[in-house]
Chains A and B, each alone.
Chain A
């Protein structure tokens, strides 16, 4: 049952990754080419998902959209992990006022929604893939910091850390050799769940016109463009919505799967 969850997640994520990879070398049609004569076609052998309001092949746009979805996910989650995990380890390892400061800072960022941050960045720099990634990344830092801190507190109380400290290990060496390897699986779970959140956030930003600008196809902007035809061509909204759902579900299942398959102790910490 647990394995099933993991493999289903892996399959869905694999689907999104394959779509992104395929789009790098091949798409059925040019995802930017406007063909006024082909507006709003329904599914057919020539266009399996139909065409959009500009007459562009939806399948091609979905494939390219997968690329942006993964790009934003990878960059924002990596950014968040690179900042959040060391902060969380620091807070958990050193404790005292250091922990207080780190946790209060993450509380502040946590209270600030990614959306607000994205609006702010978009207002200053103009909405782009970069501002979307930055906003989502910063907003995801607290989740990593908290997870890493919880894991670190647990590991710090473990006998093997006390034994290592009894031999003189401390500071960065303790963090790198004993704490990080023992919370890495926990961070992996968080990364997978963070990825799912990032995909949702990216879609939301695209939908609001705060992310990657037109004409680059992203699932969020596709959803936004479909709105116009919600009653006349409802399938327009279905496809990008389905793609987002598949990706989000995939990464969530993968995260849960990793958690369940790795050490049972991790389930308590997260």
Chain B
């Protein structure tokens, strides 16, 4: 479904933020990317979405369903975004337009790809699908009137309303507190199950990724240092950085 090969992204004259990354996600598959802050996770996600600033230089290949995306002009890319692939951003505080009612933002994503159908009904349906208790009230709210968890659910609703084949989550729960984080993860899991969408899930928390994804890719300083099946990788991490991550997660789990 998604095949990334030798992806490299550089900004200006600095050393590449992402270097020679390759991975593949099959139809309905889930891959988790973990790595420290600044390791190039978001840049990888934005490169797949074609949302990097114009001064970024992208090399390598990103293929979605066999079609090459690197170098695609923005007007072509934007037809795919929201329809074939989409992304949920990290910061629920800043990823919703403060000047627009939540329902309108979600409806906008819907109308771009569907004609003639009733957007309002669809918005309420998808808000219910992401576990929002009072969809009508949420749809008529401005972002600042919602809690962090609600906003993250609204963002997810906006992203999945057109049933895209691939959803990229960039640390969707990092900004949320533990309890809400668990609820949102559960919602994402159910949603992916229900729609059968493939997913690229980014986090710096190996426990979160392990809970959701069958495969994991570990990034350090812009490079993929290790990737493999989740159980295998947790049981027998080979790279020192992965070993440290797994050990730290174990300690946390014992203490918590």
Contact = CB atoms under 8 A, between A and B. Distances in A.
Interface string A179-191: 0011000000000
Contacts, number: 86
> Interface size for chain B: under 10, 10 to 19, 20 to 34, or 35 or more residues?
35 or more
Given A158-B94, A160-B94, A166 B99 contact: no
Nearest to A182: B99
Contact of B81 (A96, A158, A166, A181): A166
B96 A160 contact: yes
B3 to A, nearest CB: 20
Contacts of A22: none
At the interface, is chain A mostly helix, strand, loop or mixed?
helix
A168 B83 CA distance: 7
B137 interface: no
Interface in A161-183: 161-171, 173, 177-178, 181-182
A162 B168 CA distance: 13
- A-B residue pairs, 10 tightest by C-beta: A168-B82, A167-B109, A167-B82, A181-B99, A170-B78, A166-B87, A159-B94, A159-B95, A160-B97, A163-B95
Contact of B159 (A159, A167, A170, A171): A167
A166 B46 CA distance: 9
A95 interface: yes
B65 interface: no
A162 B95 CA distance: 8
Interface in B24-59: 46, 49, 51, 53-54
A164 B104 CA distance: 12
Given A162-B89, A168-B81, A181 B100 contact: yes
Contacts of A158: 94
Contacts of B113: 168
A167 B112 contact: yes
A169 B95 contact: no
B108 A165 contact: no
A262 to B, nearest CB: 12
Given A95-B54, A173-B108, A177-B108, A166 B86 contact: yes
